[in-house]
A and B are shown apart, each in its own frame.
Chain A
Amino acid sequence: MSDSTAPPSPIAIRPSLSELFRAFAIVSISGFGGALPWARRKIVEQKGWMTAQEFNEAFALSQFLPGPNVVNFSVVFGTRFGGAAGAAVALAGLMGPPLIIVIVLAILYAQFGDLEALSRVLAGITAAAIGLLIAVVAKMAAPLFVKRWNSGPVIAIAAFIGVAIMQWPLPWVFLGLAPISVAFAWFKR
């Protein structure tokens, strides 16, 4: 593997549509539990299609947008290098192979979902996956609780209570809290 030895050139290498498809297909099937680290490795380190800075900006945009971040990223990246066709191809590469795999799993689950052993394995995986979610929350929360005057924790706890305890529909909770939170961020600077 000869990675990151190429000098950073001002003119980025432009991937063809089939390269785009292949890159996102590989990223998506290698990316267990989150495809973004793989996307960075492939796009920045191996292919040199973007600098680290450009990647971070495209990633920031993907986070800014609603919906699944990796899906957004594939569209943002594809658009940039191939317009609408590029976006479609990158998205198809990202979603195609996992879709086939997961459909097979869905068929198997419909057949064997009641099997005692399978249900025990899945229960174990779920218990572990919940732990991962808690770790994500802890990592995200740490910086919010550092500063003294900060609306972050209040908003986060309110969102949690609204969705988890009150079980209100997400759009209501979002429309109730997001404007307040954004307003705080706006005036804080």
Chain B
Amino acid sequence: MNDNPLIALAGYFALLSLFAVGGANAAIPEMHRIAVEVMHWMNDRQFADMFAIAQVSPGPNIIIVTLIGYHVAGFAGAAVATAAMCGPTCVVAFLVARTWDRFKDAHWRIAIQAGLVPVSLGLIGASAFVLARSADNNVYAGMVTAVTAIIAFATRINPLWIFAAGGILGLSGWL
């Protein structure tokens, strides 16, 4: 699995696509584990950079896999990583969409959905932790994170403004 980076990208992301309950935000820790810890494709800073780029890019945040894939193996890597991350879940979505009406009110369906909420909550919390560990290297960055968390929790401000403020503070050399 380790010889060809395309096969590794395909295998890891296809598997991840089926376990990422809670979407892209829940998948961040596993992506970090694979890309930085296991495969050594990149360092912490590069991973955090790609996370930031995916956040400010238009479109679904899952697009971070395209950046990782490109970094690992150019255009082919980008294509393989994106297809692997979207493919399996799309096939499942297609199959389920056609039978949904039959079980949307079933007790087991409601139990599964309710039961997965705490799992995704823990995973998204882990995303914040893993990213903070790799990116918030000083007190000021930690303060930006804390203030942003409070603003985003208390208001319904468009995230773009928050990203812009963070980027300007970063450029100013404070972080």
Q: A159–B123 Cα gap in the complex (Å)?
A: 6
- Please name all residues of chain B whose beta carbon is closer than 8 Å to the beta carbon of A97 when the two chains form the complex: 58-59
Asked if A183 is at the interface of the complex by the 8 Å CB criterion, the answer is yes
Given A102-B67, A136-B124: A152 and B117 within 8 A (CB)? yes
Q: How many residues belonging to A are interface residues under a CB distance threshold of 8 Å?
A: 95
The smallest C-beta distance from B115 to any residue of chain A, in angstroms, reads 3
Asked if B112 is at the interface of the complex by the 8 Å CB criterion, the answer is yes
Give which listed residue, B90, B167, B171, contacts A91 with CB less than 8 A: B90
Binds B, one of A10-18, A41-49, A138-146: A138-146
Dominant secondary structure at the B interface = helix
Say yes or no: B145 contacts A128, CB within 8 Å.
yes
Say yes or no: B166 contacts A101, CB within 8 Å.
no
- Please name all residues of chain B whose beta carbon is closer than 8 Å to the beta carbon of A52 when the two chains form the complex: none
Asked if B97 is at the interface of the complex by the 8 Å CB criterion, the answer is yes
Give which listed residue, B46, B59, B144, contacts A113 with CB less than 8 A: B46
Say yes or no: B89 contacts A67, CB within 8 Å.
yes
Given A32-B56, A94-B60: A128 and B70 within 8 A (CB)? no
Query: How many residues of B sit at the interface, in one of the four size bands?
Result: 35 or more
A143-184: CB near B (< 8 Å → 1, else 0) gives: 010000001111111111011100101110010011001111
Say yes or no: A109 contacts B53, CB within 8 Å.
yes
Give which listed residue, A34, A65, A138, A144, contacts B118 with CB less than 8 A: A144
Dominant secondary structure at the A interface = helix
Q: A33–B159 Cα gap in the complex (Å)?
A: 6
Q: A61–B113 Cα gap in the complex (Å)?
A: 9
- Please name all residues of chain A whose beta carbon is closer than 8 Å to the beta carbon of B57 when the two chains form the complex: 98, 101-102, 105
Please provide the chain B residues from 37 to 52 with a CB less than 8 Å away from any CB of chain A in the complex: 37, 45-46, 48-52
Q: A125–B112 Cα gap in the complex (Å)?
A: 35
Given A61-B96, A170-B29: A95 and B86 within 8 A (CB)? yes
Say yes or no: B122 contacts A128, CB within 8 Å.
no
Q: Give me the interface of B with A, judged by CB distance under 8 Å.
A: 15-21, 23-25, 27, 29-30, 33, 37, 45-46, 48-63, 66-67, 70-71, 75, 78, 82, 85-86, 88-90, 92-94, 96-98, 100, 104, 107-132, 135-136, 141-142, 144-153, 158-160, 162-163, 165-171, 173, 175
Q: Give me the interface of A with B, judged by CB distance under 8 Å.
A: 28-35, 57, 60-72, 75-76, 79-80, 84, 87, 91, 94-95, 97-99, 101-103, 105-107, 109-110, 113, 117, 119-141, 144, 151-160, 162-164, 167, 169-171, 174, 177-178, 181-186, 189
11 A-B contact pairs sorted by A residue (CB < 8 Å): A30-B58, A57-B100, A60-B104, A67-B62, A71-B86, A99-B82, A113-B49, A123-B52, A126-B48, A135-B152, A156-B119
Besides A64-B113, A135-B148, 13 more A-B contacts (Cβ < 8 Å) are A67-B89, A95-B86, A99-B59, A106-B70, A127-B148, A137-B125, A138-B149, A159-B121, A163-B130, A170-B27, A185-B110, A186-B111, A189-B107
